[in-house]
Amino acid sequence: MYRLSHISDVHLGPLPSLSLKELASKRITGYVNWRRNRRKLLVGDVLETLLEDIESRNPDHLAITGDLMNLSTKDEITATHAWLEATGDPHKVSIIPGNHDAYVPGAYERICKAWRPWMSGDEAHTSVTGDKMFPYIRIRDNVALIGISTANATPPFLASGYFGRGQARRTVNLLHYAREKGLFRVVMIHHPPMRDLAPWHKRLIGIRRFAATISTGGAELVLHGHTHEDTMHWLHTRRVTVPVVGVPSASQGAGGRRPPAGHNLFVIEGEPGAWQCRRESYRFQKDMSGLHMRSSDDLSSTAVAKAREHRPIGQS
């Protein structure tokens, strides 16, 4: 049995002091948004309580699907590195970047260097991944964690992601490799890889390509962030049906349009063709006094087959 926890959109705060040079960019819009909205709703002690709750449930691994920062300043990158060190050993924590981690040109390269221990593949599998950082694969027991990057710097008022041909080809190779090893394949991506889950200015460019990748390579579970919502959908293709699960922001307090913070725990066991996977969804209570289990969902092979049988007409 393997226990995998999932959080996303940490948005570690508070913001450090910003120079005029740092604000003379897209950051000015993000800074105004932080001052007006995010700083009131993204609360540090919420994140601390959430991590304590996760630790109490004794997971084997923690997956974080992007947006660890807010404006991608150098001080934020350093502070996030320190937070990652305190959160867990790189062997037990896997991260991928989000759009806020690549907020401005140059930030993406800096985080890839600073956070590499938590978002790089196992050295034993470099013959499959090649010299590209993404996608990466980490094998833990009978689970393969495959990290994809959709992060890229965008103009002001845009938060879209991109999944290109090269990364798609490499992802298919990793999915085939993990299937041959008889592993339960978990794909981590920041932007939701299905239509209508994010508005156009926050969408994933390459949704069809991602669906084709999963259809060709196969997967058992897709985890994403970005929306700050508690969601579960099914990605239907001609060949496979895969659960796609989102999670609220790990720092979200009460009183906003989005649900309070939470995390998911996936309990995985079984073997290829007969996987057993259960999602336990933990959320803060309305008064933020603590977390409780909101729901428990069956994502086993049987549930996948049933979802495929009842797929909506015309959905791809």
Residue 2 · residue 220 · CB < 8 Å: no
Give the pLDDT confidence score for residue 126 in this predicted structure. Answer: 77
Give the pLDDT confidence score for residue 314 in this predicted structure. Answer: 39
pTM of the model: 0.92
Beta-carbon contacts of 282 under 8 Å, excluding residues fewer than 6 positions away, are 53, 57, 262, 263, 264, 265, 291, 292, 293, 294
pLDDT reading at 312 higher than 60: no
pLDDT tens by residue, 136-188: 999 999 999 999 999 999 998 899 999 999 999 999 999 999 999 999 999 99
Q: Name the least confident of 10-14, 244-248, 278-282.
A: 10-14
* Beta partners for residue 147, in sequence order: 136, 188
pLDDT tens by residue, 36-53: 666 556 666 899 999 999
pLDDT tens by residue, 200-215: 999 999 999 999 999 9
Give the pLDDT confidence score for residue 301 in this predicted structure. Answer: 87
Beta-carbon contacts of 61 under 8 Å, excluding residues fewer than 6 positions away, are 2, 3, 4, 5, 92, 93, 94, 140, 143, 145
pLDDT reading at 235 higher than 80: yes
Residue 302: both structure tokens together: 């049987």
The whole-number average pLDDT for the span 280-287 is 88
pLDDT reading at 316 higher than 50: no
pLDDT reading at 285 higher than 50: yes
Q: Phi then psi for 201, rounded to 5 degrees?
A: -80, -5
The whole-number average pLDDT for the span 291-307 is 90
For each of the domains in the chain, give its residue range(s) and CATH number, in order of start. 2-309 (3.60.21.10)
